[in-house]
Amino acid sequence: MTPLRRDIAASIALVAAMAVVPLIFDTRYVITQLTVFFIWGIVVTQWNLVLGVAGIFSLAQMALFAVGAYGTAMLAYYGGMAMVPAMVIASLATVGVSLVIGFACLRLKGPYVALLTLAIAQMLYLIVVNDTGCFTNPPSGCLPLLGGVRGFSRFGDLGFRDLLGSKWFVGHYYVGLGLLLVAQVFCAFLIRGPLGLAFRALRDNPGYAMSRGVGRLKYQLWVFGLSAFFTGLAGAFYVAHFGVVGPIVFSVSMLLFLLAMIVVGGMGTVWGPLLGAAVLMIADEGLREVGDWREIGLGLVLAGFVILLPRGLVGLRRR
Amino acid sequence: MDVVLQILVSGLTIGAMYAASTIGLALVYGALNMLNMAQGALLAFGGYVCMYVMDSLGLPAPLGLLAALVTGGVLGLAIYALVTRPMLGSANFETQIFIATIGVGSVLQSAVLHLFGPQPKAQPLQIPGGLTLGGVTLPWQNVLIMGVTALMLAGVAWLLGRTRAGLAIRATAQNRVAAQLMGIRIGRVYAQVLMLSGALAAVSGVMVSSLSGLLPTMGADPMLKAFVICVVAGLGNVPGAALAALVLGVLEAVIQYLFGVQYAFAILLALVIAVLIWRPYGLFGTRQVVRL
């Protein structure tokens, strides 16, 4: 069996196993936490493609997530659009934004890319938060065009409340699981397929690869744009699931949490990011008691893994 | 005319603050190819230590500044010993150390939060009053900030240009392997550079907080701006960074006056992106001929 088929088979097996979970545990807490895990799983698998496979040191991933999330919320809130078309349009808009960022940043080298993407993310955050003029005046009070500090709420949902009644969250669980399956299979295709091969060639022998017509910028833009689609979609689903979106999606601690998932699991591998996401979410659950120390713990985990175990948990097995 | 002068004064003060927080970053990147994301937390640490020494221990201001300097240096040394040294020579050093310092920054910032609490505090290092010259007021605080920055810049210039240690730092920055072959102990050079940049960061933290007040997260904003300045100047270029800081400071003051405070950073960033598309290696950076 080729590695690609093995990965796809593993993905399907895992999803099948996860699909049984709501039939066994039907406590809302477990199901909702797992749905959140699916969302972060999509984000980290896609970010991992950008960081670990294409070698683009971008920190704009949560900004792209936010574009998908805010886009969906604003289309539904102002345009009165149904959730599903809003989600698709917002995801496509995310691709557009990512291509603009890509054209501005990808000509630069590693650390410049990191700083510039971080600056762009920060700029978007400031634009959202500093927007204080009232655009509309709903009953809940003044609402700026981009939602301001408060963000958006009450813009509709996926309609599972009518369909499943009090078990609506199970609907979200399956939607999230389905999206994660698609994202993970895409990720496996990219790493094992021609694009992944192109990047491996560019890494191992850049001169030969480029003389054979494998241009770095072109392939980097492809990965950046395609992964932005799923990232935006994850953002859109986040909005549909929680029913609110606010500037917290830009926060540094969230960026740190997701970056730590990739580093802990193993950057550039097919399964590392998902493993890291699972480990860190469980650890986070355990650390809920000592909430104040969460940031210190995250920082230590991030630094410790980079220093002592730079290839992550997946790298342990290969040694 | 008065307005122009007033803008120039506040712009130069902002620029001086930026320069103070930027040179440490530029120095570390120049010598080690290491982007130190913990810089912002070092700024906060400096500001809080100075506050603690002056308010809680009741010691005079120069001792507060000195304490901040020493704390910054010690933290810089600790970062070298615990993070940089084990990672030297690892694959993808530039990327990996960047991620590691993000973690270190988070730890240090939370440490500040736990030691000093989340409430905003005032920096006691203040000089009241000002100098009025023909309708333009020049607060002593701004004079102090510009003076301290000038002193720091002069000190770094002297250290790099006139001392043996500075020669070793420049040699290492130019060519790590050749410097090592000439008998320079690069481990010591790295330790010195990180100590120096930590100390500079702490002092600039005191300066920044004397205007904006103390918060555990106060370092994030100056650090991001310092990075932007480094990028505009060309990473690792120390004199270029100082100049770019002053220019961007004045520019920010002008933008604030013309368009309002909330747009200053966004417009600044747009300009920076434009600069980078025009000159991807920074304004004063030399084109690195990397054919592949």
Residue with tokens 């926060």: A251
Closest-CA residue to A250 (of B231, B220, B109): B220
In which band, very low, low, confident or very high, does the pLDDT at B286 lie, cut at 50, 70 and 90? low
CA distances from B280 to A112, A210, B51, B276 (A): 9, 21, 41, 5
Beta strands in chain B (DSSP E): 130-133, 136-139
Probe site for chain B from A287, A307, A309, A311 (most B CB atoms < 10 A): A307
Residues of A in contact with B86 (CB under 8 A): 307-308
For chain B positions 211-230, those within 8 Å of chain A (CB to CB) are 220, 224, 227-228, 230
Using the Cβ of B80 and the Cβ atoms of chain A, whether some distance falls under 8 Å is answered with no
Question: What are A148's two structure tokens?
Answer: 């301001």
Mean pLDDT of A19-26: 80
Q: Report CA A43 to chain centroid distance, whole Å.
A: 2
Probe site for chain A from B37, B110, B224 (most A CB atoms < 10 A): B110
Q: Give ipTM to 2 decimals.
A: 0.81
Mean pLDDT of A142-160: 76
Please name the residues in contact with B269: beta carbons below 8 A apart, sequence gap of 6 or more: A119, A120, A123, B228
Residues of A in contact with B266 (CB under 8 A): 123, 126-127
Report how far residue A163's alpha carbon sits from residue A279's, in angstroms, rounded to the nearest whole number. Answer: 33
Q: Domain-by-domain residue ranges, chain A?
A: 3-250, 251-319
Report how far residue A224's alpha carbon sits from residue A229's, in angstroms, rounded to the nearest whole number. Answer: 9
Closest-CA residue to A84 (of A187, A178, A225): A178
Q: Could you read off the pLDDT of B103-132 as tens digits, one per residue? A: 999 899 889 988 888 888 888 888 777 777
Q: Could you read off the pLDDT of A290-318 as tens digits, one per residue? A: 767 777 888 888 888 888 888 888 878 76
Residue B289, pLDDT above cutoff 60: no
Nearest-by-Cβ selection for B106 from A126, A263, A298: A298
Least confident range from A252-256, A285-289, B85-89: namely A285-289
Mean pLDDT of B146-151: 89
Q: Could you read off the pLDDT of A46-59 as tens digits, one per residue? A: 999 988 888 888 88
CA distances from B217 to A150, B179, B206, B278 (A): 21, 38, 14, 33
Beta carbons within 10 angstroms of residue B194's beta carbon: 28
C-alpha torsion sign, points A12, A223, B269, B29: positive
Please tell me which residue of chain A has the smallest CA distance to B222. Answer: A119
Mean pLDDT of A166-194: 87
Mean pLDDT of A28-40: 89
Host H or E run for residue A66: helix A61-79
Please state, for a pLDDT cut of 70, what percent of chain A lies above it.
98
Residue B160, pLDDT above cutoff 60: yes
In which band, very low, low, confident or very high, does the pLDDT at A245 lie, cut at 50, 70 and 90? confident
Report how far residue A214's alpha carbon sits from residue A281's, in angstroms, rounded to the nearest whole number. Answer: 38
Residues of B in contact with A112 (CB under 8 A): 231, 235, 276, 280
Q: Report CA A206 to chain centroid distance, whole Å.
A: 29
Q: Could you read off the pLDDT of A197-224 as tens digits, one per residue? A: 888 888 777 788 888 888 878 888 888 9
Using DSSP's 3-state secondary structure scheme, residue A33 falls into helix
Residue A228, pLDDT above cutoff 90: yes
Least confident range from A103-117, B63-77, B106-120, B148-162: namely A103-117
Closest-CA residue to B79 (of B41, B125, B51): B41
Using the Cβ of A5 and the Cβ atoms of chain B, whether some distance falls under 8 Å is answered with no
Mean pLDDT of A92-113: 84
Determine the pLDDT at residue B194: 93
Are the beta carbons of A104 and B105 separated by less than 8 Å? no
CA distances from A121 to A60, A63, A73 (A): 6, 5, 19
Q: Report CA B68 to chain centroid distance, whole Å.
A: 14
Mean pLDDT of A31-36: 89
Contact yes or no for B103/A306 (Cβ under 8 A):
yes
Determine the pLDDT at residue A255: 86
Q: Could you read off the pLDDT of B57-86 as tens digits, one per residue? A: 888 888 988 999 999 999 999 999 999 888
DSSP labels, B250-264: HHHHHHHHHH-HHHH
Nearest-by-Cβ selection for B83 from A253, A259, A307: A307
In which band, very low, low, confident or very high, does the pLDDT at B288 lie, cut at 50, 70 and 90? low
Probe site for chain B from A59, A62, A107, A115 (most B CB atoms < 10 A): A115
Mean pLDDT of B242-246: 87
B88-97, B166-175, B276-285 — most confident range:
B166-175
Residue A30, pLDDT above cutoff 80: yes
For chain B positions 7-36, those within 8 Å of chain A (CB to CB) are 29, 35
Please name the residues in contact with B246: beta carbons below 8 A apart, sequence gap of 6 or more: B12, B15, B16, B18, B19
Least confident range from A154-168, A217-231, B17-31, B255-269: namely A154-168
Q: Could you read off the pLDDT of A260-269 as tens digits, one per residue? A: 899 898 888 8
Probe site for chain A from B33, B85, B99, B292 (most A CB atoms < 10 A): B99
Residues of A in contact with B268 (CB under 8 A): none
Residue B292, pLDDT above cutoff 50: no
Report how far residue B166's alpha carbon sits from residue B145's, in angstroms, rounded to the nearest whole number. Answer: 25
Nearest-by-Cβ selection for B100 from A207, A295, A303: A303
Residues of B in contact with A123 (CB under 8 A): 265-266, 269
Nearest-by-Cβ selection for A116 from B100, B220, B273: B273
Closest-CA residue to A108 (of B285, B279, B229): B279
Are the beta carbons of B265 and A293 separated by less than 8 Å? no
In which band, very low, low, confident or very high, does the pLDDT at B290 lie, cut at 50, 70 and 90? very low
Determine the pLDDT at residue B226: 85
Q: Could you read off the pLDDT of B163-205 as tens digits, one per residue? A: 998 889 888 888 888 888 988 888 899 999 999 999 999 999 9
Residues of A in contact with B280 (CB under 8 A): 107-109, 112
Please name the residues in contact with B221: beta carbons below 8 A apart, sequence gap of 6 or more: none
Using the Cβ of A206 and the Cβ atoms of chain B, whether some distance falls under 8 Å is answered with yes
| A30 class by beta-carbon count within 10 Å (0-12 exposed, 13-18 middle, 19+ buried) | middle
In which band, very low, low, confident or very high, does the pLDDT at A79 lie, cut at 50, 70 and 90? confident
CATH number attached to the domain at B2-278: 1.10.3470
Report how far residue A206's alpha carbon sits from residue A195's, in angstroms, rounded to the nearest whole number. Answer: 15
Report how far residue B100's alpha carbon sits from residue B87's, in angstroms, rounded to the nearest whole number. Answer: 10
Contact yes or no for B154/B220 (Cβ under 8 A):
no
Report how far residue B226's alpha carbon sits from residue B39's, in angstroms, rounded to the nearest whole number. Answer: 10
Are the beta carbons of B103 and A210 separated by less than 8 Å? no
Task: Write the Ramachandran bin of A142: left for phi over 0, alpha for psi from -120 to 50, otherwise beta.
Answer: beta
User: Which of A215 and B214 is assigned the larger pLDDT?
Assistant: B214
Please tell me which residue of chain A has the smallest CA distance to B262. Answer: A130
